[in-house]
Amino acid sequence: MAHWLKDRGFDAYAVGGGVLALLGRPALQVAAGPERRSPWKSAVAALRHKLYRRYFAGLMLSWTGSWIEAGAFGYVVLLLGGSAATLGLIGFLNTIPNLVLALPAGALADRFDRRKVLFVFQGANMGVAIALALLWATGELNVFLMGVLAFLGGSFGTLSFPAFQAMLASTVPEEDLESAVALNSLSLQLARFIGPAIAGVLLATAGPTWVFGINALSFLAVLIVLPLLPGSRDHLIGAAIGVGRSMKDGLRYVFGQRSMASLMMLMILAGLFATPPVAFMIPGLVRFQLHEGATTLGLLISLVGLGSVFGSLALLRLSGRPNKGEPAIASYLLCAAAIAGIGLSTSVPLSFALAVLGGFAGVVFIGLSTVVVQASATHEMRARAMAIWAACFVGVLPFGALITGGLAAWLGAGGAVAVDGFITLVGGIAVVLARPGVLWLGCAALPETCVAATDPLALAVLEDEAEAVAA
Protein backbone atom coordinates (compact mmCIF):
# COMPACT_ATOMS: atom_id res chain seq x y z
CA MET A 1 0.00 0.00 0.00
CA ALA A 2 2.93 2.33 0.65
CA HIS A 3 3.86 2.08 -3.04
CA TRP A 4 0.32 3.09 -4.02
CA LEU A 5 0.39 6.13 -1.72
CA LYS A 6 3.83 7.25 -2.85
CA ASP A 7 2.76 6.85 -6.46
CA ARG A 8 0.13 9.49 -5.85
CA GLY A 9 2.39 11.93 -4.00
CA PHE A 10 1.77 11.01 -0.35
CA ASP A 11 4.53 10.31 2.19
CA ALA A 12 4.25 6.67 3.20
CA TYR A 13 6.36 3.75 4.30
CA ALA A 14 5.88 0.01 4.51
CA VAL A 15 5.96 -1.94 7.79
CA GLY A 16 7.40 -5.44 7.57
CA GLY A 17 4.83 -7.83 9.00
CA GLY A 18 2.02 -5.28 8.85
CA VAL A 19 0.25 -3.58 11.76
CA LEU A 20 0.47 -6.67 13.96
CA ALA A 21 4.28 -6.60 13.81
CA LEU A 22 4.23 -2.87 14.62
CA LEU A 23 2.15 -3.63 17.72
CA GLY A 24 4.40 -6.51 18.76
CA ARG A 25 1.68 -9.11 18.12
CA PRO A 26 2.27 -12.49 16.47
CA ALA A 27 1.43 -12.69 12.77
CA LEU A 28 -1.89 -14.18 11.75
CA GLN A 29 -1.86 -17.66 10.30
CA VAL A 30 -3.44 -17.54 6.89
CA ALA A 31 -5.33 -20.65 5.84
CA ALA A 32 -4.12 -22.28 2.68
CA GLY A 33 -6.17 -21.20 -0.28
CA PRO A 34 -7.04 -23.15 -3.41
CA GLU A 35 -4.15 -24.58 -5.36
CA ARG A 36 -2.60 -21.96 -7.58
CA ARG A 37 -2.24 -22.51 -11.30
CA SER A 38 1.20 -23.12 -12.70
CA PRO A 39 2.91 -20.04 -14.24
CA TRP A 40 2.43 -21.32 -17.78
CA LYS A 41 -1.24 -22.14 -17.21
CA SER A 42 -1.73 -18.66 -15.83
CA ALA A 43 0.10 -17.20 -18.83
CA VAL A 44 -2.34 -18.73 -21.33
CA ALA A 45 -5.41 -18.55 -19.09
CA ALA A 46 -7.14 -16.07 -21.42
CA LEU A 47 -7.49 -18.78 -24.07
CA ARG A 48 -10.01 -20.55 -21.84
CA HIS A 49 -12.60 -17.92 -22.75
CA LYS A 50 -14.56 -18.21 -25.99
CA LEU A 51 -14.86 -14.45 -26.49
CA TYR A 52 -11.11 -13.98 -26.22
CA ARG A 53 -10.41 -16.86 -28.63
CA ARG A 54 -12.61 -15.12 -31.21
CA TYR A 55 -10.87 -11.80 -30.59
CA PHE A 56 -7.43 -13.43 -30.74
CA ALA A 57 -8.12 -15.30 -34.00
CA GLY A 58 -9.55 -12.24 -35.77
CA LEU A 59 -6.74 -9.98 -34.67
CA MET A 60 -4.04 -12.53 -35.55
CA LEU A 61 -5.32 -12.87 -39.12
CA SER A 62 -5.67 -9.10 -39.51
CA TRP A 63 -2.18 -8.41 -38.15
CA THR A 64 -0.67 -11.03 -40.45
CA GLY A 65 -2.29 -9.35 -43.44
CA SER A 66 -1.03 -5.95 -42.30
CA TRP A 67 2.54 -7.24 -41.97
CA ILE A 68 2.30 -8.90 -45.39
CA GLU A 69 1.52 -5.48 -46.84
CA ALA A 70 4.13 -3.73 -44.68
CA GLY A 71 6.80 -6.17 -45.86
CA ALA A 72 6.10 -5.28 -49.48
CA PHE A 73 5.13 -1.61 -49.26
CA GLY A 74 8.63 -0.12 -49.48
CA TYR A 75 9.58 -2.49 -52.28
CA VAL A 76 6.57 -1.36 -54.31
CA VAL A 77 7.54 2.28 -53.72
CA LEU A 78 10.97 1.53 -55.19
CA LEU A 79 9.38 -0.31 -58.14
CA LEU A 80 7.42 2.87 -58.86
CA GLY A 81 10.64 4.90 -59.02
CA GLY A 82 10.87 6.11 -55.43
CA SER A 83 14.19 6.65 -53.65
CA ALA A 84 15.46 6.02 -50.13
CA ALA A 85 14.37 9.56 -49.25
CA THR A 86 10.91 8.74 -50.57
CA LEU A 87 10.75 5.74 -48.25
CA GLY A 88 11.52 8.02 -45.32
CA LEU A 89 8.84 10.51 -46.37
CA ILE A 90 6.20 7.80 -46.78
CA GLY A 91 7.19 6.33 -43.40
CA PHE A 92 6.65 9.80 -41.91
CA LEU A 93 3.20 10.08 -43.54
CA ASN A 94 2.21 6.64 -42.27
CA THR A 95 3.23 7.29 -38.65
CA ILE A 96 2.47 10.98 -38.06
CA PRO A 97 -1.26 10.27 -37.46
CA ASN A 98 -0.24 8.53 -34.22
CA LEU A 99 0.85 11.86 -32.80
CA VAL A 100 -2.06 13.92 -34.14
CA LEU A 101 -4.96 11.48 -33.73
CA ALA A 102 -4.02 9.17 -30.85
CA LEU A 103 -5.63 11.23 -28.06
CA PRO A 104 -8.86 11.97 -29.99
CA ALA A 105 -9.01 8.26 -30.88
CA GLY A 106 -8.95 7.34 -27.19
CA ALA A 107 -11.73 9.80 -26.46
CA LEU A 108 -13.82 8.42 -29.33
CA ALA A 109 -13.36 4.86 -28.07
CA ASP A 110 -14.68 5.90 -24.64
CA ARG A 111 -17.48 8.05 -26.10
CA PHE A 112 -19.03 5.63 -28.64
CA ASP A 113 -19.68 1.92 -28.91
CA ARG A 114 -16.27 0.41 -29.71
CA ARG A 115 -17.68 -2.15 -32.14
CA LYS A 116 -19.14 0.65 -34.26
CA VAL A 117 -15.87 2.58 -34.11
CA LEU A 118 -13.98 -0.48 -35.32
CA PHE A 119 -16.49 -1.26 -38.05
CA VAL A 120 -16.05 2.22 -39.48
CA PHE A 121 -12.26 2.50 -39.33
CA GLN A 122 -11.38 -1.13 -40.08
CA GLY A 123 -13.79 -1.06 -43.00
CA ALA A 124 -12.11 2.13 -44.22
CA ASN A 125 -8.68 0.49 -43.92
CA MET A 126 -9.96 -2.45 -45.93
CA GLY A 127 -10.96 0.08 -48.60
CA VAL A 128 -7.39 1.43 -48.64
CA ALA A 129 -6.01 -2.08 -49.27
CA ILE A 130 -8.57 -2.68 -52.05
CA ALA A 131 -7.64 0.66 -53.65
CA LEU A 132 -3.94 -0.30 -53.64
CA ALA A 133 -4.70 -3.64 -55.28
CA LEU A 134 -6.93 -2.12 -57.97
CA LEU A 135 -4.58 0.78 -58.71
CA TRP A 136 -1.61 -1.56 -59.17
CA ALA A 137 -3.62 -3.99 -61.30
CA THR A 138 -4.75 -1.16 -63.60
CA GLY A 139 -1.33 0.49 -63.76
CA GLU A 140 -2.58 3.71 -62.16
CA LEU A 141 -0.60 3.50 -58.93
CA ASN A 142 2.21 6.05 -58.45
CA VAL A 143 4.42 7.32 -55.63
CA PHE A 144 2.12 10.24 -54.83
CA LEU A 145 -0.88 7.94 -54.42
CA MET A 146 1.22 5.56 -52.29
CA GLY A 147 1.95 8.48 -49.96
CA VAL A 148 -1.71 9.50 -49.77
CA LEU A 149 -2.86 5.94 -49.07
CA ALA A 150 -0.08 5.43 -46.51
CA PHE A 151 -1.34 8.49 -44.64
CA LEU A 152 -4.96 7.30 -44.80
CA GLY A 153 -4.02 3.79 -43.68
CA GLY A 154 -2.00 5.17 -40.77
CA SER A 155 -4.88 7.43 -39.76
CA PHE A 156 -7.49 4.67 -39.79
CA GLY A 157 -5.14 2.35 -37.89
CA THR A 158 -4.50 5.03 -35.24
CA LEU A 159 -8.23 5.68 -34.82
CA SER A 160 -8.82 1.94 -34.38
CA PHE A 161 -6.04 1.19 -31.87
CA PRO A 162 -7.60 2.42 -28.57
CA ALA A 163 -10.92 0.73 -29.33
CA PHE A 164 -9.14 -2.56 -30.07
CA GLN A 165 -7.16 -2.37 -26.83
CA ALA A 166 -10.13 -1.37 -24.69
CA MET A 167 -12.35 -4.08 -26.19
CA LEU A 168 -9.79 -6.68 -25.13
CA ALA A 169 -10.80 -6.20 -21.48
CA SER A 170 -14.40 -7.14 -22.28
CA THR A 171 -13.40 -10.59 -23.55
CA VAL A 172 -11.85 -11.91 -20.31
CA PRO A 173 -12.47 -11.57 -16.57
CA GLU A 174 -10.22 -9.14 -14.70
CA GLU A 175 -7.92 -11.85 -13.34
CA ASP A 176 -7.01 -13.02 -16.86
CA LEU A 177 -6.48 -9.57 -18.42
CA GLU A 178 -2.69 -9.68 -18.08
CA SER A 179 -2.64 -13.08 -19.82
CA ALA A 180 -4.76 -11.67 -22.66
CA VAL A 181 -2.43 -8.69 -23.18
CA ALA A 182 0.66 -10.94 -23.18
CA LEU A 183 -0.93 -13.33 -25.69
CA ASN A 184 -1.78 -10.37 -27.91
CA SER A 185 1.86 -9.35 -27.88
CA LEU A 186 2.86 -12.87 -28.87
CA SER A 187 0.39 -12.90 -31.77
CA LEU A 188 1.69 -9.53 -32.99
CA GLN A 189 5.29 -10.74 -32.98
CA LEU A 190 4.34 -13.96 -34.78
CA ALA A 191 2.52 -11.92 -37.42
CA ARG A 192 5.53 -9.62 -37.69
CA PHE A 193 7.77 -12.66 -38.16
CA ILE A 194 5.53 -14.52 -40.64
CA GLY A 195 4.03 -11.65 -42.63
CA PRO A 196 7.15 -10.30 -44.39
CA ALA A 197 8.20 -13.84 -45.35
CA ILE A 198 4.81 -14.39 -47.00
CA ALA A 199 5.15 -11.00 -48.69
CA GLY A 200 8.47 -12.01 -50.22
CA VAL A 201 6.96 -15.20 -51.68
CA LEU A 202 3.92 -13.35 -53.02
CA LEU A 203 6.02 -10.60 -54.62
CA ALA A 204 8.21 -13.18 -56.33
CA THR A 205 5.38 -15.43 -57.54
CA ALA A 206 2.20 -13.37 -57.89
CA GLY A 207 3.01 -9.65 -57.71
CA PRO A 208 1.88 -6.67 -55.58
CA THR A 209 -1.81 -7.03 -56.49
CA TRP A 210 -1.96 -10.26 -54.50
CA VAL A 211 -0.13 -8.71 -51.57
CA PHE A 212 -2.62 -5.86 -51.27
CA GLY A 213 -5.57 -8.14 -52.03
CA ILE A 214 -4.69 -10.60 -49.26
CA ASN A 215 -4.33 -7.74 -46.80
CA ALA A 216 -7.81 -6.54 -47.81
CA LEU A 217 -9.21 -10.04 -47.18
CA SER A 218 -7.55 -10.17 -43.77
CA PHE A 219 -9.70 -7.28 -42.58
CA LEU A 220 -12.72 -9.50 -43.10
CA ALA A 221 -11.54 -11.56 -40.11
CA VAL A 222 -12.02 -8.55 -37.83
CA LEU A 223 -15.30 -7.47 -39.42
CA ILE A 224 -16.72 -11.00 -39.03
CA VAL A 225 -15.61 -11.34 -35.41
CA LEU A 226 -16.81 -7.91 -34.23
CA PRO A 227 -20.56 -8.77 -34.09
CA LEU A 228 -19.68 -11.75 -31.88
CA LEU A 229 -17.98 -9.54 -29.26
CA PRO A 230 -19.74 -7.51 -26.56
CA GLY A 231 -20.37 -3.82 -27.12
CA SER A 232 -18.98 -1.22 -24.71
CA ARG A 233 -21.42 -0.46 -21.92
CA ASP A 234 -19.83 2.78 -20.83
CA HIS A 235 -20.09 4.70 -24.11
CA LEU A 236 -23.22 6.52 -22.92
CA ILE A 237 -21.26 7.81 -19.92
CA GLY A 238 -18.43 8.94 -22.21
CA ALA A 239 -20.95 10.66 -24.49
CA ALA A 240 -21.99 12.95 -21.63
CA ILE A 241 -18.77 14.98 -21.89
CA GLY A 242 -17.01 16.50 -24.87
CA VAL A 243 -13.99 15.05 -26.63
CA GLY A 244 -11.72 17.83 -25.35
CA ARG A 245 -12.76 17.29 -21.74
CA SER A 246 -12.41 13.55 -22.19
CA MET A 247 -8.83 13.96 -23.44
CA LYS A 248 -7.92 16.24 -20.51
CA ASP A 249 -9.37 13.76 -18.03
CA GLY A 250 -7.29 10.98 -19.59
CA LEU A 251 -4.07 13.01 -19.38
CA ARG A 252 -4.79 13.97 -15.77
CA TYR A 253 -5.50 10.34 -14.88
CA VAL A 254 -2.33 8.91 -16.44
CA PHE A 255 0.12 11.62 -15.38
CA GLY A 256 -1.38 11.81 -11.90
CA GLN A 257 0.37 8.50 -11.15
CA ARG A 258 4.12 8.95 -10.76
CA SER A 259 5.07 5.48 -11.93
CA MET A 260 2.81 5.77 -15.00
CA ALA A 261 4.15 9.24 -15.81
CA SER A 262 7.71 7.86 -15.58
CA LEU A 263 6.75 4.98 -17.86
CA MET A 264 5.48 7.48 -20.43
CA MET A 265 8.84 9.28 -20.27
CA LEU A 266 10.54 5.99 -21.10
CA MET A 267 8.07 5.40 -23.95
CA ILE A 268 8.97 8.81 -25.43
CA LEU A 269 12.68 7.97 -25.24
CA ALA A 270 12.02 4.59 -26.87
CA GLY A 271 9.98 6.15 -29.66
CA LEU A 272 12.51 8.90 -30.37
CA PHE A 273 15.78 6.97 -30.11
CA ALA A 274 15.30 3.19 -29.77
CA THR A 275 12.75 2.45 -32.50
CA PRO A 276 14.17 4.46 -35.47
CA PRO A 277 17.43 2.44 -35.65
CA VAL A 278 15.42 -0.78 -36.01
CA ALA A 279 12.77 0.70 -38.29
CA PHE A 280 14.99 2.69 -40.64
CA MET A 281 18.73 2.06 -40.22
CA ILE A 282 19.25 -1.69 -40.57
CA PRO A 283 19.89 -1.53 -44.35
CA GLY A 284 22.45 1.25 -43.78
CA LEU A 285 24.19 -0.74 -41.05
CA VAL A 286 24.49 -3.79 -43.28
CA ARG A 287 25.82 -1.89 -46.25
CA PHE A 288 28.09 0.73 -44.68
CA GLN A 289 29.03 -0.71 -41.28
CA LEU A 290 29.22 -4.44 -41.99
CA HIS A 291 29.94 -4.10 -45.74
CA GLU A 292 27.56 -6.98 -46.53
CA GLY A 293 24.69 -7.53 -48.93
CA ALA A 294 21.06 -8.66 -49.18
CA THR A 295 21.58 -12.05 -47.55
CA THR A 296 23.00 -10.51 -44.37
CA LEU A 297 20.24 -7.90 -44.40
CA GLY A 298 17.55 -10.58 -44.52
CA LEU A 299 19.21 -12.59 -41.76
CA LEU A 300 19.63 -9.57 -39.51
CA ILE A 301 15.98 -8.55 -39.85
CA SER A 302 14.87 -12.15 -39.27
CA LEU A 303 17.00 -12.43 -36.14
CA VAL A 304 15.42 -9.28 -34.70
CA GLY A 305 12.07 -10.95 -35.35
CA LEU A 306 13.25 -14.21 -33.79
CA GLY A 307 14.37 -12.37 -30.66
CA SER A 308 10.96 -10.68 -30.57
CA VAL A 309 9.19 -14.06 -30.61
CA PHE A 310 11.40 -15.29 -27.74
CA GLY A 311 10.65 -12.05 -25.91
CA SER A 312 6.92 -12.62 -26.30
CA LEU A 313 7.29 -16.10 -24.79
CA ALA A 314 9.16 -14.59 -21.83
CA LEU A 315 6.41 -11.98 -21.56
CA LEU A 316 3.86 -14.75 -21.02
CA ARG A 317 5.70 -15.65 -17.82
CA LEU A 318 6.51 -12.11 -16.68
CA SER A 319 3.03 -10.67 -17.28
CA GLY A 320 1.70 -12.40 -14.15
CA ARG A 321 4.51 -11.06 -11.96
CA PRO A 322 3.08 -8.59 -9.41
CA ASN A 323 5.98 -6.13 -9.69
CA LYS A 324 6.65 -5.55 -13.37
CA GLY A 325 8.85 -2.51 -12.91
CA GLU A 326 12.13 -4.32 -12.33
CA PRO A 327 11.99 -6.63 -15.41
CA ALA A 328 10.62 -3.76 -17.52
CA ILE A 329 13.50 -1.44 -16.62
CA ALA A 330 16.09 -4.21 -16.98
CA SER A 331 14.74 -5.01 -20.47
CA TYR A 332 14.73 -1.33 -21.44
CA LEU A 333 18.37 -0.88 -20.44
CA LEU A 334 19.42 -4.14 -22.08
CA CYS A 335 17.73 -3.15 -25.35
CA ALA A 336 19.41 0.28 -25.25
CA ALA A 337 22.82 -1.34 -24.72
CA ALA A 338 22.19 -3.77 -27.60
CA ILE A 339 21.29 -0.87 -29.94
CA ALA A 340 24.45 1.03 -29.00
CA GLY A 341 26.52 -2.14 -29.44
CA ILE A 342 25.14 -2.99 -32.87
CA GLY A 343 25.87 0.59 -33.99
CA LEU A 344 29.53 0.13 -33.04
CA SER A 345 29.89 -3.47 -34.23
CA THR A 346 31.84 -4.33 -37.38
CA SER A 347 31.48 -8.09 -36.79
CA VAL A 348 28.62 -9.92 -38.48
CA PRO A 349 28.31 -12.66 -35.80
CA LEU A 350 28.32 -10.06 -33.01
CA SER A 351 25.68 -8.00 -34.84
CA PHE A 352 23.54 -11.12 -35.24
CA ALA A 353 23.77 -11.87 -31.51
CA LEU A 354 22.94 -8.27 -30.59
CA ALA A 355 19.97 -8.34 -32.99
CA VAL A 356 18.45 -11.32 -31.15
CA LEU A 357 19.17 -9.73 -27.76
CA GLY A 358 17.73 -6.37 -28.77
CA GLY A 359 14.60 -7.93 -30.26
CA PHE A 360 14.08 -10.00 -27.11
CA ALA A 361 14.57 -7.15 -24.63
CA GLY A 362 12.60 -4.62 -26.67
CA VAL A 363 9.50 -6.80 -26.85
CA VAL A 364 9.63 -7.60 -23.12
CA PHE A 365 9.78 -3.89 -22.28
CA ILE A 366 7.04 -2.83 -24.70
CA GLY A 367 4.87 -5.82 -23.74
CA LEU A 368 5.17 -5.20 -20.01
CA SER A 369 4.40 -1.51 -20.48
CA THR A 370 1.21 -2.48 -22.34
CA VAL A 371 0.24 -4.97 -19.63
CA VAL A 372 0.73 -2.34 -16.92
CA VAL A 373 -1.33 0.33 -18.67
CA GLN A 374 -4.13 -2.10 -19.52
CA ALA A 375 -4.29 -3.70 -16.08
CA SER A 376 -3.94 -0.52 -14.00
CA ALA A 377 -6.42 1.65 -15.89
CA THR A 378 -10.08 1.65 -14.91
CA HIS A 379 -12.60 0.40 -17.44
CA GLU A 380 -13.72 3.97 -18.16
CA MET A 381 -10.15 5.21 -18.73
CA ARG A 382 -8.56 2.21 -20.46
CA ALA A 383 -8.97 3.39 -24.06
CA ARG A 384 -7.67 6.88 -23.25
CA ALA A 385 -4.73 5.49 -21.28
CA MET A 386 -3.73 3.26 -24.21
CA ALA A 387 -4.14 6.21 -26.59
CA ILE A 388 -1.71 8.25 -24.47
CA TRP A 389 0.69 5.27 -24.48
CA ALA A 390 0.50 5.17 -28.30
CA ALA A 391 1.01 8.93 -28.61
CA CYS A 392 4.10 8.81 -26.38
CA PHE A 393 5.63 5.81 -28.15
CA VAL A 394 4.54 5.63 -31.79
CA GLY A 395 3.49 9.27 -32.05
CA VAL A 396 7.04 10.58 -31.67
CA LEU A 397 8.50 8.05 -34.12
CA PRO A 398 8.39 10.44 -37.14
CA PHE A 399 10.54 12.94 -35.25
CA GLY A 400 12.85 10.16 -34.13
CA ALA A 401 13.27 9.22 -37.78
CA LEU A 402 14.26 12.79 -38.62
CA ILE A 403 16.75 12.92 -35.72
CA THR A 404 18.29 9.58 -36.69
CA GLY A 405 18.47 10.65 -40.32
CA GLY A 406 20.30 13.84 -39.34
CA LEU A 407 22.72 11.88 -37.18
CA ALA A 408 23.33 9.45 -40.05
CA ALA A 409 24.19 12.31 -42.39
CA TRP A 410 26.72 13.54 -39.82
CA LEU A 411 28.11 10.34 -38.29
CA GLY A 412 27.10 7.61 -40.74
CA ALA A 413 24.59 4.83 -40.10
CA GLY A 414 26.67 3.09 -37.44
CA GLY A 415 27.43 6.31 -35.56
CA ALA A 416 23.77 7.37 -35.63
CA VAL A 417 22.60 4.02 -34.21
CA ALA A 418 25.31 4.08 -31.52
CA VAL A 419 24.33 7.59 -30.43
CA ASP A 420 20.65 6.65 -30.41
CA GLY A 421 21.39 3.65 -28.19
CA PHE A 422 23.57 5.71 -25.83
CA ILE A 423 20.90 8.42 -25.44
CA THR A 424 18.27 5.74 -24.79
CA LEU A 425 20.49 4.16 -22.12
CA VAL A 426 21.48 7.39 -20.35
CA GLY A 427 17.93 8.76 -20.56
CA GLY A 428 16.52 5.59 -19.01
CA ILE A 429 19.01 5.68 -16.15
CA ALA A 430 18.15 9.35 -15.53
CA VAL A 431 14.41 8.57 -15.37
CA VAL A 432 14.98 5.74 -12.88
CA LEU A 433 17.21 7.92 -10.67
CA ALA A 434 14.77 10.83 -10.76
CA ARG A 435 11.64 8.71 -10.42
CA PRO A 436 12.44 5.40 -8.66
CA GLY A 437 8.71 4.79 -8.45
CA VAL A 438 8.90 3.40 -12.00
CA LEU A 439 10.41 0.29 -10.39
CA TRP A 440 7.05 -0.29 -8.70
CA LEU A 441 5.04 -0.67 -11.90
CA GLY A 442 2.26 -3.09 -11.10
CA CYS A 443 2.73 -2.65 -7.34
CA ALA A 444 1.81 1.02 -7.48
CA ALA A 445 -1.20 0.22 -9.61
CA LEU A 446 -2.34 -2.93 -7.80
CA PRO A 447 -0.93 -2.76 -4.26
CA GLU A 448 -3.09 -5.52 -2.77
CA THR A 449 -2.10 -7.94 -5.51
CA CYS A 450 1.58 -7.06 -5.14
CA VAL A 451 1.69 -7.40 -1.37
CA ALA A 452 -0.47 -10.50 -1.22
CA ALA A 453 1.57 -12.23 -3.89
CA THR A 454 4.93 -11.53 -2.25
CA ASP A 455 4.05 -11.92 1.46
CA PRO A 456 0.40 -12.59 2.42
CA LEU A 457 1.20 -12.13 6.13
CA ALA A 458 2.46 -8.60 5.54
CA LEU A 459 -0.97 -7.21 4.72
CA ALA A 460 -1.76 -4.28 6.99
CA VAL A 461 -4.85 -5.12 9.03
CA LEU A 462 -6.59 -2.75 11.42
CA GLU A 463 -6.20 -3.81 15.06
CA ASP A 464 -9.91 -4.34 15.63
CA GLU A 465 -10.21 -6.44 12.50
CA ALA A 466 -7.16 -8.46 13.50
CA GLU A 467 -8.64 -9.22 16.92
CA ALA A 468 -11.92 -10.24 15.34
CA VAL A 469 -10.17 -12.62 13.00
CA ALA A 470 -8.05 -14.08 15.86
CA ALA A 471 -11.15 -14.65 17.97
**pLDDT over threshold 50, residue 289:** yes
Average pLDDT over residues 103-119: 83
Average pLDDT over residues 221-237: 72
Average pLDDT over residues 61-69: 86
Q: What is the pLDDT of residue 349?
A: 93
Q: What is the pLDDT of residue 451?
A: 45
More confident site: 446 or 229: 229
49-454 topology per CATH: Growth Hormone; Chain: A; (1.20.1250)
Average pLDDT over residues 304-317: 86
The 10s digit of each residue's pLDDT in 251-267 is 787 777 788 888 899 99
**pLDDT over threshold 80, residue 3:** no
Total Cβ atoms within 10 A of residue 237: 12
The 10s digit of each residue's pLDDT in 340-371 is 999 999 999 999 999 999 999 999 999 888 88
Percent of the chain with pLDDT over 70: 81
Q: What is the pLDDT of residue 241?
A: 56
Q: What is the pLDDT of residue 455?
A: 44
Rounded to the nearest integer, the mean pLDDT of the chain is 79
In angstroms, the CA 437 to CA 112 distance is 34
Q: Which of 342, 263, 249, 264 is nearest to 304 (CA)?
A: 342
Average pLDDT over residues 140-166: 89
Cα-flanking dihedrals φ and ψ of residue 321, to 5°?
Answer: -70, 130
Average pLDDT over residues 197-218: 86
- Rounded (10°) angle between helices 50-79 and 114-137: 30
Q: What is the pLDDT of residue 339?
A: 95
**pLDDT over threshold 90, residue 427:** yes
Q: What is the pLDDT of residue 25?
A: 59
Give the global pTM.
Answer: 0.75
Percent of the chain with pLDDT over 90: 24
Q: What is the pLDDT of residue 466?
A: 46
